[in-house]
Structure 1
Amino acid sequence: MNDSIKRIPVDLPVNATLHFWMKAARPGTPGSLSFSSPRGKFAEVQVTNTEENEFRIHQVFGGGPIELSYDTGETSVSVIYWFTAADVLDTGITVVHTSPVNAPPEVPGSYHFRPPFGWMNDPNGFGRFGGRPHLFYQHYSHGRIWNTMHWGHAISSDYLRWRHLPVFLFPSEELTARPDRRGGAFSGSAISLVDGPGIRVFFTEQVPERVPEAQIQLTAVSADLITAGQAEVLLPRRPDGENLSQDFRDPYVFRGPDGLWKMLLGSNSTEGGVVLLYETADPSAAGGWTYVGKLLVAQMDGTTAAECPCLLPLDGPANDPATRWVLIWGMMHSQDEATGRRNLTLARVGWFDGKTFSSETQQELDFGTDNYAFQAFVDGDKAIGIGWLANWSDTGPTIDFPTAMTLPRQLVLANGFLHTPPIGTAESLRSRILDRTRLAAGQGVELGTGAVEILIDFKDTGTAFRLELDHPGIELSVSQEDAGLRIGYDRPGVAQQPVYIARGARARKVRIFLDYGSIEVFADDGRWTGTKRIDGFEPVRAARLHCNRDQVERATIWALHL
């Protein structure tokens, strides 16, 4: 018996499609994956690349049990999943193999979106297509470390419970030949096709050695919502005469108030971070894009580019001149000197006439800053958005870093400010009440798996309190004081740590979501929102509230579960 043979049994339906990635273990000897049924071996796939996993597709028309096998001394297999194209939008993919370096974390009961394997960052193409919400995202299959970018894909009915779909968008073969982190299919957006079912996606392709443009804009069409067709170049170069850096990325496409398709792109100039505006009269948005001008120029210490911009109407139809819009963008490498927080995301509320944006107010989207690359769209009569639950100040191309998406949020304009409460369906996560009396009385409350929602209502705005959260590795708390609302996050042994505070906040209602590796704070229905990734996946074990007991109107803890 050969102990180096890895065998993977799979029971397949009729007309199953297998996607798998594999590479040769050593030069000169091809890597191979064999397919066998009870009648014997019926197929074999070989690869020669020893540096990076090669993508392969195999169709198995007859259903029933089969066995996949390979010699671990000659072949390395990263991922295997199968699906049936006829119903994959309803059933998703079935993952049958990952490796130790790309397997998802074991977080039973977690309710945040995570990829089925590998690395994830920015949300892309977030929208409702074919009647259901779709989420695309920056993805690398073969490790929990940033590398050559693909687009992962998932579908939902309520923004909370997702089915994983096949990897949607692939970079060029040249870029996938080596795991050298040179670029790939970067962030972008998606719109419904105007002349039939399907979507058109827009994304940035990065090739660092390409001259004169490292980053250009591409578009591709998917009629089946499963795979993207051949990508075509849409914008091959930056606009002239604007003193822009090589940064030219993250196309966000939407309908303007004049009915034309608009595109936002992030960049940097000698003036600061820049959001560029393009438009086209092409009803399909497939071409004819022309540069309109700089929609936004924003300065902040350390900023190397504005990125992941999005713009959408908040309080009325897009074609009403009185409707207020919100412009959201990230400030790459920015730093707030007062708090030490980096990579801030900002939001401006104002008016958009199709050519210019007139700002009324500006605020931070999230005082915890771990809600990055936020992307939103108008779904019926509601604006819905989601962000990457992480921050580039904590990770990079050499750090093993499994991450998640934030809870989806609604964008609401109230009293002149942008509010970002969790979507209403978040209440469907509640499985049972853990406590209705002990927290309010100042007693410690054990939190079980740590996947909980904590709601505290005070009698007066600005009530001082401190909620201590018992975590095995972090000194964690949520508090309110004269200076504002704060997430206390102290790592033992780290001398200088950022201060996560919403200055001037005087909240009366606080809603906190805890999960493996994260805390999200929503105060006064999302008037102030703070999102913080927690190192590791140890759960918060208990909570205790310190405040004037007479000020507590209600304190409830719900256990959460998908």
Structure 2
Amino acid sequence: MTNQMERENGPWMKQNLFLPSGYCLEFWAAGDGFFRFNIDGKTVWEARSFPIHPEFFKYHHREACEVTIVTNAPDAVLWAYGYQPQTVNETGVTVFDFSEKGILQRTGAEIEDWLRSDPDRPVLHFSPIRHWMNDPVGLCKIGKLWHLFFQFHPSGSEWGPMHWGHATSHDLVDWLHMPVFLHPEQNLWRLGATGGAFSGNAFRDRDGSLMFFYTERLPAYDLFKGYREIQKIARPDRRMIKAEGIVTVLEQRPDGVEHDFRDPKVWWDDAANGYRMILGASIEGDPAVLLFGSGDCLEWQYLGPLYRAPVNFRQEGARAVECPDFFQLEDKWVLVMGFVGHVEPRTRRHNLLYALIGEFIEDCFVPDTPELQLLDFGTDYYAMQSFDAGGRQIAFAWLFNWEYRKPEGSSYSGEMSLPRVLSLSKDKNKLLMLPVIEVDEHYAADPVIESDQSGQYSLPKAPIEIRLTGPLEGSKLVATKDGELAFEVSVADGILSVRLAQDDGSIHYVAELGEAKDLRLFHDFGIVEVFADGGAVCGTRRGYVNIDPDHLEISTTASTQVLEKRSRKH
């Protein structure tokens, strides 16, 4: 009777797998059907009926032996992977693809080969295997291993209940995909709500212990008002696979602060002999960064606003500060922040990041100048997070613009920027950003064009880097695909501008360049990252039209190199 019902309820799948002792299979599923593990014909684990909303499931295999996976709804499994805790840091996860034809497993290089089989997926930039990714979070380096955590929605390629995805690297270029590190405190899909484990930072205490501060957005039913956000600490397990020992450390908002109250950055402050935390928020409608202090990391007191934006930001649509970053470079302190909802009046750009440089004395931040530095004149470099790694301040940002989306049918959404190293200009009045040296060390740069003359050239179907050295005024780079525009970068009257095929002219992506004599442009299947004037001027764009140009027209008096970026592994 049971078998008859199973056959009638959907496509039948039954497959034998050998699993080692301690193996973990984690998956998200939704829809009508069942899922079970049998050993010697006896059921040892079962989800008898998948819910209509996504649900997280975990099977922990205790004895090395063959198991039989049985389901009548393989298409109900939205995202699945397996791993052995003792070895996952060396191998990464094994991705399980369920279908009527059986289970296909991919690990390590097999995952990378599968990712590279997608002709539209960028090569130089990190992206999730599947589904939605946004802000970088919890960035850190432990020993020789880099850890990239990121906002992740495991059941679809649109924004949804937030988790922390996780990847590791030995070189900031090649990444191993790890198990989901942090989950929301409850199933928000079941409630029909959004929220979950939002942004936060990694903090290593003076005794060497590592912890992650983050915001939990409690069940939310409106994206613009009325939600509640609280601050938590999570500690990693001994293998850095899962968050554990999660405690709430801050729930009460100061007077004048509404619903936006999030994205902690925590550090130990020697001068104050205490812990300090900043949060993005607003005060009586003005975007602001709030400062808190603690003696034990658990009980936090509000010390006042670290920064309150001028009134024009509120007038121009800004609702709050989000993803603030605050760190020391040389003898200066740097504040980086984005303004939710802000639209720059002159160019109509949104999603912009700004920086201030100044002094931090007795819990007061005093900018050297009130004028905000625009960090990236594109609109696809957002939610930047930086961290100190052996004396270098390394940063990633979410490479995305809500204005444009990936074409329908893509298996994922969202990429990270190239990792950048942050420094100060010689006069210490500007924050500079350049790609980390590991990008050039890893990706062999083979010149395909090297010339002091303008001209027209064919392009390889691969990531490229264009370098201009010398006078940039009047320069123009135009890349096309079958005669149609892919991207255009030009310098005219001291203004650097970027235009993509999707642009309709309503938004202007421009920056003052002045007398700069150097420019680097990376193009990676629709991603353009520009660095000029030693990193004082940066622009990041993400396009989805004509992403693999075959032709480049160069018009410039500067010396030119075009480099094909090939991984040394290949």
Give the structure-1-normalised TM-score: 0.87
Does structure 1 residue 158 correspond to structure 2 residue 160?
no
Q: Distance in 1 between matches of 2:560 and 2:185?
A: 56
Q: Distance in 2 between matches of 1:133 and 1:98?
A: 31
Give the alignment of 1:34-53 within 5 angstroms: 34-35=36-37, 40=41, 43-53=44-54
**Residue 399 of structure 1, CA deviation:** 11
**Residue 87 of structure 1, CA deviation:** 2.1
Q: Distance in 2 between matches of 1:270 and 1:44?
A: 53
Distance 1:468 1:503, change over 3 A: same
Q: Distance in 1 between matches of 2:52 and 2:66?
A: 32
Does structure 1 residue 33 correspond to structure 2 residue 42?
no
Q: Distance in 1 between matches of 2:545 and 2:59?
A: 37
Contact 1:80/1:95 (8 A) holds in 2: yes
**Residue 24 of structure 1, CA deviation:** 3.4
1:23-44 residue CA offsets vs partner (Å, 9 max, x unmatched) = 332xxxxx3223357x556544
Contact 2:200/2:214 (8 A) holds in 1: yes
Contact 1:340/1:499 (8 A) holds in 2: yes
Residue 203 of structure 1 corresponds to 215
Q: Distance in 1 between matches of 2:264 and 2:24?
A: 32
Residue 289 of structure 1 corresponds to 300
Residue 58 of structure 1 corresponds to 59
**Residue 51 of structure 1, CA deviation:** 2.7
Residue 553 of structure 1 corresponds to 559
SS at 2:152's partner residue?
strand
Residue 352 of structure 2 corresponds to 344
1:321-341 residue CA offsets vs partner (Å, 9 max, x unmatched) = xx1111000111111111111
Contact 1:93/1:166 (8 A) holds in 2: yes
Q: Distance in 2 between matches of 1:379 and 1:487?
A: 32
SS at 1:245's partner residue?
coil
1:259-314 residue CA offsets vs partner (Å, 9 max, x unmatched) = 422111111233621000111121xx2x1211111111114211011100011111
From 1, 5, 23, give the equivalent of 2:30.
23
Contact 2:485/2:546 (8 A) holds in 1: no
Distance 1:213 1:50, change over 3 A: closer
Unaligned runs of 5+ in 1: 26-30, 316-322
Q: Distance in 2 between matches of 1:539 and 1:67?
A: 44
Q: Distance in 2 between matches of 1:486 and 1:275?
A: 31
Q: How many pairs align?
A: 531
The residue identity in structure 2 corresponding to 1:540 is P
Distance 1:560 1:534, change over 3 A: farther
Residue 423 of structure 2 corresponds to 412
Does structure 1 residue 219 correspond to structure 2 residue 221?
no
Contact 2:193/2:221 (8 A) holds in 1: no
Give the alignment of 1:113-152 within 5 angstroms: 113-152=126-165
Does structure 1 residue 279 correspond to structure 2 residue 280?
no
**Residue 428 of structure 1, CA deviation:** 2.4
From 370, 395, 401, give the equivalent of 2:380.
370
SS at 1:124's partner residue?
strand
The residue identity in structure 1 corresponding to 2:506 is Q
The residue identity in structure 1 corresponding to 2:564 is W
**Residue 475 of structure 1, CA deviation:** 4.4
Q: Distance in 2 between matches of 1:534 and 1:490?
A: 7
Distance 1:164 1:98, change over 3 A: farther
**Residue 72 of structure 1, CA deviation:** 2.6
Q: Distance in 2 between matches of 1:166 and 1:115?
A: 12
Q: Distance in 1 between matches of 2:217 and 2:452?
A: 51
Distance 1:435 1:163, change over 3 A: same
Contact 2:195/2:216 (8 A) holds in 1: no
Distance 1:236 1:22, change over 3 A: same
Instruction: Tell which deviates more after alignment, 413-422 or 9-18.
Output: 9-18
Q: Distance in 2 between matches of 1:12 and 1:291?
A: 51
Q: Distance in 2 between matches of 1:536 and 1:41?
A: 53
Contact 1:92/1:164 (8 A) holds in 2: yes
Distance 1:4 1:245, change over 3 A: same
* Greater share of residues in helix: 2
SS at 1:412's partner residue?
strand
The residue identity in structure 1 corresponding to 2:368 is E
The residue identity in structure 2 corresponding to 1:402 is S
The residue identity in structure 1 corresponding to 2:161 is T
Residue 448 of structure 1 corresponds to 461
Q: Distance in 1 between matches of 2:77 and 2:354?
A: 42
Contact 1:189/1:203 (8 A) holds in 2: no
Identical-pair percentage: 29
SS at 1:244's partner residue?
coil
1:329-385 residue CA offsets vs partner (Å, 9 max, x unmatched) = 011111111111112110111111251111124311100121100000111211111
Distance 1:512 1:9, change over 3 A: farther
SS at 1:296's partner residue?
strand
Unaligned runs of 5+ in 2: 100-113
Give the alignment of 1:493-508 within 5 angstroms: 495-508=504-517
RMSD (Å), alpha carbons: 3.0
Q: Distance in 1 between matches of 2:20 and 2:349?
A: 51
Contact 1:344/1:364 (8 A) holds in 2: yes
From 492, 507, 520, give the equivalent of 1:511.
520
Does structure 1 residue 252 correspond to structure 2 residue 265?
yes
Residue 200 of structure 2 corresponds to 188
SS at 1:487's partner residue?
strand
1:11-70 residue CA offsets vs partner (Å, 9 max, x unmatched) = 544432111122332xxxxx3223357x55654421545332221111224446655342
Residue 319 of structure 1 corresponds to none
Residue 335 of structure 2 corresponds to 327
Give the alignment of 1:391-470 within 5 angstroms: 391-394=401-404, 402-415=413-426, 416-437=429-450, 440-449=453-462, 451-458=463-470, 460=471, 462-470=472-480
Q: Distance in 2 between matches of 1:128 and 1:408?
A: 13
Contact 1:130/1:197 (8 A) holds in 2: no
